[in-house]
């Protein structure tokens, strides 16, 4: 099936099998391997990307559903000022170890600080409940998001 989409700002046209997941499409056809796959079942959040600005689990979204949509993966935030803050806070708060959950975590984290800039720790944890990390124990991730949110709040007039 033919799809036309924008991937990290670049227009793309492709012929995809109906059963091909968006995650596999991004990784295999486009070679963007920053999007990781663990459960392929919508539980772990490793494959989280943005579709039309909203976090989506690319393992259970079919590539064909991305037709006429704007798709952004971890590779597509290099000029995003919010993501720049989130990334720095992740490093400063040791919110990553093996790095495998990190791309999905970053996309979710950016969504949290954008949508809920005043979220408290409990709310941050709740919002993170769809992203599993086996390494960090989450404390660093919660700290990083709290810190990024407060920095971003402070910048706003």
Partner 1 sequence: MASQGIGASVLRNEDERFLHGRGQYVADITLPGTWNAAFLRSPIAHARIKSITIPDDLKGRVFTAADMTGVGPIVGISSLPGFRVSEYPVLATKKVRFVGEPIAVALAPERAEAEDMIERIAVEFDPLPAAVECLDARKSGAPLVHEQWPDNIVHQAEFKLGPFDEMVKKAAHKVTRQFRISRQAVMPMESRAALAHYDARQDELVVYASHQTPHLLATGLAKFLGMSQRRVRVISPDVGGGFGLKIFVEAEALVAASLAMRLRRPIRWIEDNLEHLTADANCREHRHTLTAYADNQGKFLAFDLDVVVDGGAYSIYPWTSCVEAAQCAGILTAAYDLPSIHAKLATIATNKPPICVYRGVARPGVCFSGELIVDAVARAIGREPYQVRIDNMVRPEQMPYSTITNKLYDSGDYPESVRQAVKLADVDGIRARQRRGETDGTLIGVGFASYTEQTAHGTSVLSKWGVELVPGYEMATVRMTPDGDLVIEVGIHSHGQGMETTLAQIASEVLGVDPKRVKVKFGDTAMSPYSTGTYASRSIVMAGGAVATACRTLAKRIAVIGAHLLQAKADDVRIENAQVIGPKGQVDFSALGRAWYLHPEDLPPAVDRGGLTVTEGYRPNPDSGTFSYATHAAVVSVDPDLGTVKLIDYVVVEDCGRRVNPMVVDGQVLGGTVQGIGTALYEEALYGPNGEALTGTLADYMIPGATEVPDIKLAHMTTLSPWTEFGIKGMGEGGAIAPPAAIANAVNDALRVLGVEIAETPITPRRVLAALAAAGKL
**Tokens of residue 16, six digits:** 């995809």
Q: Is 121 in the site for partner 1 (CB under 8 A)?
A: yes
Contacts of 25 (CB under 8 A, 6+ apart): 14, 16, 63, 66
Q: Is 139 in the site for partner 1 (CB under 8 A)?
A: yes
Of 30, 40, 70, 75, which lies in the binding site for ligand FES, with binding defined by CB under 6 A? 40
Of 30, 34, 39, 151, which lies in the binding site for ligand FES, with binding defined by CB under 6 A? 39
Of 9, 53, 81, 99, which lies in the binding site for partner 1, with binding defined by CB under 8 A? 99
Q: How far is CA 23 from CA 34, 35, 41, 66, in A?
A: 10, 7, 12, 11
CA distance 72 to 54: 9
Percentage helix, strand, coil for the chain under 3-state DSSP, each rounded to 5: 45, 15, 40
Which lies closer to ligand FES via its Cβ, residue 16 or residue 156? 16
Q: Is 90 in the site for partner 1 (CB under 8 A)?
A: yes
CA-based nearest residue to 16, from 49, 77, 65, 78? 65
Alpha helix positions (H), the chain? 22-24, 81-92, 102-115, 121-127, 139-155
Of 57, 69, 72, 87, which lies in the binding site for partner 1, with binding defined by CB under 8 A? 87
Q: Is 63 in the site for ligand FES (CB under 6 A)?
A: no
Q: How far is CA 112 from CA 2, 65, 101, 105, in A?
A: 33, 24, 16, 10
Of 2, 11, 18, 19, which lies in the binding site for partner 1, with binding defined by CB under 8 A? 19
Which lies closer to partner 1 via its Cβ, residue 1 or residue 139? 139
Give contact residues for ligand FES (rule: CB under 6 A): 37-40, 42-47, 57, 59, 96-102, 133-136
Which residue ranges make up the site for partner 1 (CB under 8 A)?
A: 19-20, 27-28, 32-41, 43-44, 46, 73-75, 78, 87, 90-92, 94, 96-103, 106, 121, 124-126, 128-129, 131-142
């Amino acid at each position: 099936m033919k799809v036309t989409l924008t991937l990290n700002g670049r227009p793309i046209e492709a012929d995809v099998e109906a059963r091909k997941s968006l995650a596999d499409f991004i990784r295999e056809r486009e070679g963007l391997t920053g999007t990781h796959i663990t459960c392929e079942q919508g539980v772990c959040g490793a494959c989280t990307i943005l579709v039309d600005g909203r976090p989506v689990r690319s393992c259970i979204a079919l590539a064909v559903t991305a037709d006429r949509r704007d798709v952004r993966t971890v590779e597509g935030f290099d000029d995003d000022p919010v993501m720049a803050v989130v990334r720095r806070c992740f490093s400063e708060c040791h919110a990553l170890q093996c790095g495998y959950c990190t791309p999905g975590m970053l996309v979710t984290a950016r969504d949290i600080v954008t949508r809920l800039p005043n979220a408290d720790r409990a709310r941050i944890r709740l919002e993170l409940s769809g992203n599993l990390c086996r390494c960090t124990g989450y404390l660093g991730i919660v700290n990083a998001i709290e810190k990024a949110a407060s920095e971003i709040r402070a910048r706003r007039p």
